[in-house]
Amino acid sequence: MLHDDAIVALSTPLGEAGLAVVRLSGINALAVADRVFTPVGKSSLRPTLAPSHTIHYGFIVRNGTRIDEVLLSVLRAPRTFTREDMVEVSCHGGVLPAKLVLDAFLAQGARIAEPGEFTKRAFLNGRIDLAQAEAVADLIHARTELALQAAHDQLSGHLSQRIETLRADLTRTLAHIEAHIDFPDEDIAPDTRLQLVNRLESALTFINELLRTAPEGQLLRRGVRAAIVGRPNAGKSSLLNQLLGHDRAIVSPIAGTTRDTIEETANIRGLPVIFVDTAGLRAAGDSLEAEGIRRSKAILAKAELILHVIDATEPWTQEDEQLLAESAGKKRLIIRNKMDLPGVVSWPDSWAKEAIPLSSVTGAGLETLKDSIKNLLWSGQVGGEMLQVMINSRHQEALQRAQISITHSVSALRDELTLELVAMDLRIAFNAVGEIVGKTTTEDLLDSIFSQFCLGK
């Protein structure tokens, strides 16, 4: 599906930098570039005359005025990201040079690309499927090496291959059933019916294996919010600084220093964890502290992980019991902080066994805490092979619909109901699975997916 217009966008962040890259794609991209690029030197050529995958030195010119000294790359279809002719211009970084180069292309008939439109064209032109297109966004937004690996694996087609295998199995089963519908005089033999049931149950097992990767897949993509809570002066801000590896929060022996929440993302054993340092929980001394405590409790209610920090040098109190009760039922780790100080007091055995001893000043116990965080968030049931096919929430919803429809088909076959009902549910399942790779899709779905991409990608 070749488009008759050229799209252009800045593919690097806007701002001061050594270089900026302006990207152009479309059936007339080379002709548009011809009108703004002046080659310099014997080996440099105009884009329409240049061989594919070559770089040319020259100037971007508009209305006879040189705008910038650039290197221009010519990439001819179909061996490009979009499978269209493409031009990429490396110009000087900075807001003004990049903007003027962009304006020069726009003046010659190109239009500004919509968010994700380059990747959308790659999908529409058959270079990648929809799951691989989503992996491009995952790659850009990855915050840990584990997330990056999962995105690379999906972009390489590991998930797509499994989905295509599932679609092929459903196609064969559906064809078998529809053949019997077309020839109603020939009843399905009991052993044939059993074979069809076994095939569909194998498909359900396959789907369940993919669905099992959903929690970890979503964790890698969006991270998990972890609230650091506790009484004032328990060492919450010191712990945040240790987890981040740098001083982010103000640390003071004066209780109640933290008045507002502080958020920062850290890489914990390959998992992106968004830590939120909160105000100390106690009876407020003034209206400002009261607002901080209110926000802390709101964070506590929404957090997916609680790090409850308690001062090991302070006696265990009823207030500690009450605060712990408020996070009961959530994923939680209790941290016995300030273990490096003299005067560590005894705790009730039930809580002492559960708590992780730590010094947020020296860092002793920090590695144990990181291990505990990962073990609590990551089931450990997904190995390297399943890391290759971590599904996202859209895939999960489609697979769940397919799961329900296939289950209905199995029940209908076992109960010897009309084959039309079996085929109807199987078609629903087949279409749902096809949505994952974009074999069955709608314009609204594509707009929703690609609108989340950055400009120039």
Question: Which tens digits make up the pLDDT trace of 363-396?
Answer: 899 999 999 998 888 865 545 555 566 788 899 9
pLDDT at residue 259, as a whole number: 46
Tell whether 277 and 321 lie within a shared domain: yes
Question: Residue 250: is its pLDDT beyond 60?
Answer: no
Instruction: Kindly state whether residue 264 falls inside one of the protein's structural domains.
Output: yes
Question: Which tens digits make up the pLDDT trace of 321-354?
Answer: 777 887 778 889 999 999 989 888 888 777 778 8
pLDDT at residue 167, as a whole number: 93
SS3 92: strand
Question: Residue 292: is its pLDDT beyond 80?
Answer: no
Instruction: Kindly state whether residue 60 falls inside one of the protein's structural domains.
Output: yes
Tell whether 270 and 357 lie within a shared domain: yes
Tell whether 247 and 365 lie within a shared domain: yes
Question: Residue 106: is its pLDDT beyond 70?
Answer: yes
> For residue 344, which of 328, 329, 355, 331 has the smallest C-alpha distance?
355
Instruction: Kindly state whether residue 265 falls inside one of the protein's structural domains.
Output: yes
Tell whether 227 and 202 lie within a shared domain: no
Which amino acid would we find at residue 189? A
The residue among 92, 113, 128 that closes a domain is 128
Tell whether 197 and 253 lie within a shared domain: no
Query: What is the CATH classification number for the domain harbouring 363?
Result: 3.40.50.300
Tell whether 158 and 265 lie within a shared domain: no
Instruction: Kindly state whether residue 454 falls inside one of the protein's structural domains.
Output: no
Question: Which tens digits make up the pLDDT trace of 421-446?
Answer: 999 999 999 999 999 999 887 788 88
Q: How many domains does the chain have?
A: 3
Instruction: Kindly state whether residue 87 falls inside one of the protein's structural domains.
Output: yes
Tell whether 202 and 242 lie within a shared domain: no
Tell whether 201 and 146 lie within a shared domain: yes
Instruction: Kindly state whether residue 452 falls inside one of the protein's structural domains.
Output: no
DSSP 309-358: EEETTS---HHHHHHHHHTTTS-EEEEEE-TTSS-PPP--HHHHHH-EE-
pLDDT band at 252; cut points 50, 70, 90: very low
pLDDT band at 208; cut points 50, 70, 90: very high
Tell whether 106 and 184 lie within a shared domain: no
Instruction: Kindly state whether residue 447 falls inside one of the protein's structural domains.
Output: no
Give the C-alpha separation, 371 to 313, whole Å.
Answer: 25
Calculate the CA 135 to chain-centre distance: 8
Q: What is the pTM of this model?
A: 0.78
pLDDT at residue 255, as a whole number: 45
Average pLDDT, the chain: 85
Containing structural domain, residue 62: 7-128
